[in-house]
Amino acid sequence: MKYILLTALSAMALSFSAHAADRECEYDKAPSLPDGSSASYEEMVEAQGEVQEYIKQSEFFIGCLKQKETQLGEDITEEQKAKIVSAYNHVVDEMKATSEQYNAQIKAFKQQ
């Protein structure tokens, strides 16, 4: 009986930790960028700050994912692993796209 209860409690704890991982590892979506061909200097400076903050938050999110994967250790399920890898890949792709878009808008701004 104790073994069954302990097993049930362990399963519940793992379930809660998986949900906690989802809650704790949250990130902001990429910022909207101004049109560099018509944006003011102030708008571009503001966008730069937003992009830098977004990258910083995304790096924190990636670190959180790695920490959650480490915490789950050998008990990690294939589903949990797939969710972590998918979230990681999505954020890295979004960071790259945001940086490329921002650089394109800077280039357009400089051509004004």
Q: What is the pLDDT of residues 33-66, one digit of tens each?
A: 999 999 999 999 999 999 999 999 999 999 999 9
pTM of this structure: 0.73
- Residue 51 has which token pair? 């992009």
| CA-wise closest residue to 60 among 26, 34, 86 | 26
pLDDT at 9: 36
| CA-wise closest residue to 54 among 105, 100, 99 | 99
CA atoms within 13 A on the CB side of 61: 24
Which pLDDT band, with edges at 50, 70 and 90, does 23 fall under? low
